[in-house]
Protein backbone atom coordinates (compact mmCIF):
# COMPACT_ATOMS: atom_id res chain seq x y z
CA UNK A 1 0.00 0.00 0.00
CA UNK A 2 1.43 3.35 -1.02
CA UNK A 3 0.74 5.62 1.93
CA UNK A 4 2.25 8.59 3.59
CA UNK A 5 0.99 10.77 6.40
CA UNK A 6 -0.62 9.61 9.59
CA UNK A 7 -3.76 9.98 11.64
CA UNK A 8 -7.37 8.98 11.29
CA UNK A 9 -9.00 9.41 7.89
CA UNK A 10 -11.82 11.94 8.04
CA UNK A 11 -12.19 12.56 4.29
CA UNK A 12 -11.00 10.96 1.07
CA UNK A 13 -10.47 12.47 -2.36
CA UNK A 14 -10.93 10.05 -5.24
CA UNK A 15 -9.23 11.03 -8.48
CA UNK A 16 -11.07 9.41 -11.38
CA UNK A 17 -10.54 9.50 -15.15
CA UNK A 18 -13.27 11.77 -16.55
CA UNK A 19 -12.59 10.40 -20.07
CA UNK A 20 -13.38 6.83 -19.06
CA UNK A 21 -17.04 5.75 -19.17
CA UNK A 22 -16.41 3.08 -16.52
CA UNK A 23 -14.74 5.60 -14.19
CA UNK A 24 -17.57 8.10 -14.65
CA UNK A 25 -20.12 5.35 -13.97
CA UNK A 26 -18.28 4.36 -10.78
CA UNK A 27 -18.14 8.04 -9.76
CA UNK A 28 -21.95 8.23 -10.03
CA UNK A 29 -22.30 4.96 -8.12
CA UNK A 30 -20.02 6.25 -5.34
CA UNK A 31 -22.05 9.47 -5.11
CA UNK A 32 -25.21 7.42 -4.46
CA UNK A 33 -23.75 5.29 -1.65
CA UNK A 34 -24.02 5.86 2.10
CA UNK A 35 -20.59 7.10 3.16
CA UNK A 36 -18.91 6.38 6.47
CA UNK A 37 -16.09 8.68 5.34
CA UNK A 38 -16.94 11.66 3.11
CA UNK A 39 -15.68 11.41 -0.46
CA UNK A 40 -14.68 14.20 -2.81
CA UNK A 41 -14.61 12.97 -6.42
CA UNK A 42 -12.31 15.02 -8.63
CA UNK A 43 -11.22 14.37 -12.23
CA UNK A 44 -7.64 13.14 -12.37
CA UNK A 45 -5.09 15.62 -13.73
CA UNK A 46 -7.72 18.39 -13.78
CA UNK A 47 -7.08 21.96 -12.70
CA UNK A 48 -8.85 21.16 -9.40
CA UNK A 49 -6.72 18.06 -8.78
CA UNK A 50 -3.54 20.03 -9.50
CA UNK A 51 -4.68 22.85 -7.22
CA UNK A 52 -5.49 20.49 -4.34
CA UNK A 53 -2.43 18.25 -4.74
CA UNK A 54 0.39 20.20 -6.42
CA UNK A 55 3.09 17.64 -5.51
CA UNK A 56 1.25 14.62 -6.88
CA UNK A 57 2.36 12.96 -10.13
CA UNK A 58 -0.80 13.80 -12.07
CA UNK A 59 0.17 11.85 -15.19
CA UNK A 60 0.17 8.66 -13.11
CA UNK A 61 -3.31 9.45 -11.72
CA UNK A 62 -4.65 9.03 -15.25
CA UNK A 63 -3.19 5.53 -15.41
CA UNK A 64 -4.60 4.13 -12.16
CA UNK A 65 -7.12 5.13 -9.54
CA UNK A 66 -5.65 7.34 -6.83
CA UNK A 67 -7.20 8.15 -3.46
CA UNK A 68 -5.82 10.79 -1.10
CA UNK A 69 -6.63 10.98 2.60
CA UNK A 70 -7.00 14.27 4.42
CA UNK A 71 -3.81 13.59 6.39
CA UNK A 72 -1.69 13.11 3.26
CA UNK A 73 -2.15 9.37 2.78
CA UNK A 74 -2.00 8.25 -0.86
CA UNK A 75 -3.37 4.96 -2.16
CA UNK A 76 -3.18 3.75 -5.75
CA UNK A 77 -4.48 0.81 -7.76
CA UNK A 78 -5.82 -2.10 -5.73
CA UNK A 79 -5.26 -0.30 -2.43
CA UNK A 80 -7.24 2.71 -3.69
CA UNK A 81 -10.09 0.41 -4.75
CA UNK A 82 -10.18 -1.18 -1.30
CA UNK A 83 -10.08 2.22 0.45
CA UNK A 84 -13.04 3.43 -1.65
CA UNK A 85 -15.07 0.41 -0.56
CA UNK A 86 -13.91 0.90 3.05
CA UNK A 87 -15.45 4.40 3.02
CA UNK A 88 -18.90 2.98 2.21
CA UNK A 89 -21.26 1.71 4.90
CA UNK A 90 -22.58 -1.25 2.92
CA UNK A 91 -19.17 -2.29 1.60
CA UNK A 92 -16.80 -1.81 4.53
CA UNK A 93 -16.97 -5.48 5.63
CA UNK A 94 -16.09 -6.52 2.05
CA UNK A 95 -13.23 -4.01 1.98
CA UNK A 96 -11.87 -5.40 5.24
CA UNK A 97 -11.92 -8.90 3.73
CA UNK A 98 -10.37 -7.75 0.42
CA UNK A 99 -7.48 -6.25 2.41
CA UNK A 100 -6.61 -9.69 3.85
CA UNK A 101 -4.23 -12.16 2.19
CA UNK A 102 -7.26 -14.30 1.26
CA UNK A 103 -9.20 -11.44 -0.31
CA UNK A 104 -6.42 -9.48 -1.95
CA UNK A 105 -6.21 -11.69 -5.08
CA UNK A 106 -9.89 -10.97 -5.74
CA UNK A 107 -9.31 -7.21 -5.39
CA UNK A 108 -6.33 -7.42 -7.77
CA UNK A 109 -8.38 -9.42 -10.27
CA UNK A 110 -11.18 -6.84 -10.15
CA UNK A 111 -8.70 -4.02 -10.72
CA UNK A 112 -7.00 -5.90 -13.58
CA UNK A 113 -10.34 -6.52 -15.28
CA UNK A 114 -11.43 -2.91 -14.84
CA UNK A 115 -8.09 -1.64 -16.18
CA UNK A 116 -8.35 -3.78 -19.32
CA UNK A 117 -11.95 -2.70 -19.95
CA UNK A 118 -11.01 0.93 -19.28
CA UNK A 119 -8.15 0.73 -21.77
CA UNK A 120 -10.56 -0.48 -24.43
CA UNK A 121 -13.22 2.22 -23.93
CA UNK A 122 -11.36 5.29 -22.70
CA UNK A 123 -11.94 8.35 -24.85
CA UNK A 124 -9.09 10.68 -25.58
CA UNK A 125 -9.41 14.10 -24.09
CA UNK A 126 -7.23 16.74 -22.56
CA UNK A 127 -8.02 16.91 -18.83
CA UNK A 128 -6.13 20.19 -18.69
CA UNK A 129 -8.07 21.90 -21.48
CA UNK A 130 -8.78 25.45 -20.29
CA UNK A 131 -12.24 25.57 -21.86
CA UNK A 132 -13.40 22.52 -19.87
CA UNK A 133 -14.85 23.40 -16.46
CA UNK A 134 -13.51 21.51 -13.48
CA UNK A 135 -16.10 18.93 -12.49
CA UNK A 136 -15.62 17.90 -8.89
CA UNK A 137 -17.95 16.19 -6.46
CA UNK A 138 -20.42 19.09 -6.59
CA UNK A 139 -21.07 19.23 -10.34
CA UNK A 140 -24.27 17.93 -11.79
CA UNK A 141 -23.64 15.54 -14.62
CA UNK A 142 -26.65 13.85 -16.21
CA UNK A 143 -26.87 10.20 -15.20
Contact call for residues 14 and 49 (beta carbons, < 8 A): no
Q: Which of helix, strand or coil describes residue 45?
A: coil
Q: Which of helix, strand or coil describes residue 44?
A: coil
Q: Answer whether residue 3 is part of any domain.
A: no
Tens digits of residue pLDDT in 26-83: 999 999 999 999 999 999 999 999 999 999 999 999 888 999 999 999 999 999 999 9
How many structural domains is the chain composed of? 1
Q: Answer whether residue 34 is part of any domain.
A: yes
Q: Answer whether residue 116 is part of any domain.
A: yes
The boundaries of the domain holding residue 52 are: 12-121
Tens digits of residue pLDDT in 82-110: 999 999 999 999 999 999 999 999 999 98
Q: Answer whether residue 135 is part of any domain.
A: no
Using a 10 angstrom Cβ sphere, with 0-12 exposed, 13-18 middle and 19 or more buried, the burial of residue 65 is buried
Q: Answer whether residue 132 is part of any domain.
A: no
pTM for this prediction: 0.78
Q: Answer whether residue 59 is part of any domain.
A: yes
Q: Answer whether residue 138 is part of any domain.
A: no
Contact call for residues 40 and 11 (beta carbons, < 8 A): yes
Q: Answer whether residue 140 is part of any domain.
A: no
Amino acid sequence: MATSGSGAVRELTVLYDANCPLCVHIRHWLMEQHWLVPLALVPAASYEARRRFPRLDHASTLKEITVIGDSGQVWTGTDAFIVCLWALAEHRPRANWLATPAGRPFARAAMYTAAKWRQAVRTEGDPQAPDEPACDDHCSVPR
